[in-house]
Amino acid sequence: MLGHLIFLAFIITIPLHIVNLLVPNRRLISGLLVLVNGMFITVILFDVQLFNLYKFHLNGMVWGLISGGGAGDIFEFSTHDYLFTGLGMAIISTLLASGLWIARKLAQGKRQIGWFTFSCVLMVMATSQGIYAWSDANSYHPVVRQIAVIPWAQPLTAKRFLRKHGLITTSKTVSVKHFSKGRFNYPKQQLQCKAPAKQNNLLFIMVDSLRFDVVTPEIMPNSAALANNGSQYLNHYSTGNATRFGVFGLFYGVFSNYWHAALNESSPSILIDTLNNNGYDFGIFASATLTSPEFDRTVFTSIKHKIDLVTQGNSKVERDIEITRKFSQFIEERETKKPFFSLLFYDAAHGYALPEDYELKFKPSLKTVSYAALNNDSDPTAFFNRYKNSLHFIDSLIGNVINRLKNLANMKTPLLYLPVIMVKSLTIPKIITGVITVTFHNGKQKYH
C-alpha cells in the first residue's frame, strides 16, 4: 500500500516537475504541490468510503457516469457531505503545507537527506512489487487477495522470469485461456412477428432501486393492489444489480455481459424495433437522463429522435412528478388511432428523495442521507425508513397514473398491459419483474 501510493503521488506530480523546469518559482511550485496533492488525497479518501460501501474502487464506469452528463441524476449528496468534504480538504491542505515547510527546513543545505529518502522509496516499491510477483507466481493468497483493496493497483507479475530461473515450478501456476470477443450477433435469427388485428397499448412502469420485498399494502399500496389483481412472476431474476444491466436484460432478453458489445455497435432492442416497425407511437418518460447510462445508444437508439432524452427538473422529485404529468398529457392529447408503447421510469428511490413537505409515513426517518456517515455499524432503521418514504411517494404517482388510465378506459384500442418492473436491487439479488394484467369495466365493454 505504501509503495503504491508513493508511486501514484510521484506520477501525479510529474507535470509539476516540468513546470518547475520552465518556471522555477518556489512559491508557485509549493502552492501547486499543496493543491495537486490535496486533491489526490481527497480522491483517495473518497475511494476508501466508496470501497467500504460498495466494494469497488473509482473506475472507468464511475467516471463515465460523472462525465456523461448524468452525475446530478445518479449522485445526490447532502449539505453535510459538502461541508465535510470542504473541511477535510482544508485540513489536508494545511497539513501538506506544514509538512512541506518542515521538509524544507530539515533538508536545508543537506542534499543527502533527499537522496536517502529517494533510496528508501525505491526500496519500499521494489520490495512490495517483488513480494507480490512471488506471491502471484506461487498462488499465495494471503498476499494476492489484498490487491483488491488497493486502489488502481497494477502489480508486477513475473511467472515466466521466475520459472526460467527455477524459482517456481510449472505445477504451481494456473493457465487461463482467454477468448476473443466477437460481434454482437443479435438477434440470432430473423424475428417472425405478426401483428394482431387489435394491437395492445403497452405501458412499462419502472422504479430504480426497488427492492422486491417492499411492494406491500403498507409501503406501496397502489402497486400492491395492482399486483394482487393481476399476475406476478416471482421466480424471475434480473440480469444485473446496476441500472444499465438490469434495463439491458429486460429490453434485449440476453445476458448483460453483452452490454458493451451492443453499445459499441449501437444495436437497438428487438422489442423497440418490432414495435416501431408495427407503427407504434412512443411516449418514453424517464426521470434520469437516457444518455447516462447510454440508453440512447442501445435500447432506444432507433427511436431516439422521437423521444425526450432529458426531463426538466432541479431534483429527482421534480422530475418524477414531471414524467407523470407528461405521460398524462401524452395519453390525453393523442389523436391518432395507432397503438402506443410508453415507459415511466421513476428515480426518486435511487437517491432516497421525497418532497420536503411530504407527510412521513415511516418514522424515524433521516432528513438527509449522508454517505460519509454510513458504515457497517450504522443503525439502518432511520435510513431504511427514508427509503420506504421515498417509495411511498413514488407509489402515489403510480396511483395517479392508474386512476388516469381507469378514467380513460373508453380508449379506442382495447387492450392495456401494465408491466411494473423493478430494475435494480439494493442489497438482495432477487428482483421481481411483474407483468400485471388489469381489467377495467366501463359498463358496456370490458378492457384488459
Q: CA gyration radius for the chain?
A: 28
Residue 343 is predicted with a pLDDT of 96
- How far CA 96 is from CA of 83, 87, 221, 346, in Å, comes to 20, 14, 55, 44
| DSSP β-bridge partners for residue 205 | 344, 420
Tell me the C-alpha distance between 199 and 105, whole Å.
81
Q: Which residues of 215-234 are buried (b: 16+ CB within 10 A; e: fewer)?
A: beeebbbbbbebbeebebee
Could you give the 3-state DSSP secondary structure of residue 340? Answer: strand
| DSSP β-bridge partners for residue 281 | 340
Residue 146 is predicted with a pLDDT of 79
Going by the DSSP 8-state scheme, the letter that residue 189 receives in this structure is S
**How far out from the chain centre does Cα 386 lie?**
20
Tell me the C-alpha distance between 413 and 55, whole Å.
49
**What percentage of the chain's residues is helix, strand, coil (to nearest 5)?**
50, 10, 40
Burial of 248 (0-12, 13-18, 19+ CB in 10 A): buried
Going by the DSSP 8-state scheme, the letter that residue 13 receives in this structure is T
Give yes or no for a contact between 434 and 229, defined as CB atoms under 8 angstroms apart: no
Burial of 90 (0-12, 13-18, 19+ CB in 10 A): exposed
Q: What residue has cell string 521494489?
A: 126
* β pairing state of 281-286 and 340-346: parallel
Could you give the 3-state DSSP secondary structure of residue 344? Answer: strand
**Per-residue tens of pLDDT for the chain, all 448 residues:** 888 888 888 888 888 888 888 888 888 888 888 888 888 888 888 888 888 877 778 877 777 766 665 555 666 667 777 787 788 888 888 888 888 888 777 777 676 777 888 888 889 888 988 888 888 777 677 787 777 788 888 788 887 787 777 776 544 444 333 333 446 788 888 888 888 888 889 999 999 999 888 999 999 999 999 988 888 887 877 788 788 998 999 999 888 888 888 887 788 899 999 999 999 999 999 999 898 888 988 999 999 899 999 999 999 999 999 999 999 999 888 877 889 999 999 999 999 999 999 999 999 999 988 877 888 888 999 999 999 999 999 999 999 999 988 887 655 444 344 555 544 443 333 333 444 444 444 444 443 3
Q: What residue has cell string 508486477?
A: 156
Tell me the C-alpha distance between 132 and 141, whole Å.
10
Going by the DSSP 8-state scheme, the letter that residue 434 receives in this structure is E
* Grid cell locating 386: 427514508
* Grid cell locating 363: 418514522
Residue 71 is predicted with a pLDDT of 56
Could you give the 3-state DSSP secondary structure of residue 418? Answer: strand
| DSSP β-bridge partners for residue 282 | 341
Tell me the C-alpha distance between 70 and 151, whole Å.
24
Residue 70 is predicted with a pLDDT of 57
Domain locations in the chain as residue ranges: 2-172, 201-447
pTM of the model: 0.64
Decide if domain 201-447 falls under CATH 3.40.720.10.
yes
Tell me the C-alpha distance between 133 and 156, whole Å.
6
Tell me the C-alpha distance between 65 and 72, whole Å.
10
Tell me the C-alpha distance between 418 and 202, whole Å.
7
State pLDDT tens for residues 167-220. Answer: 765 444 443 333 334 467 888 888 888 888 888 899 999 999 998 889 999 999
Tell me the C-alpha distance between 285 and 409, whole Å.
21
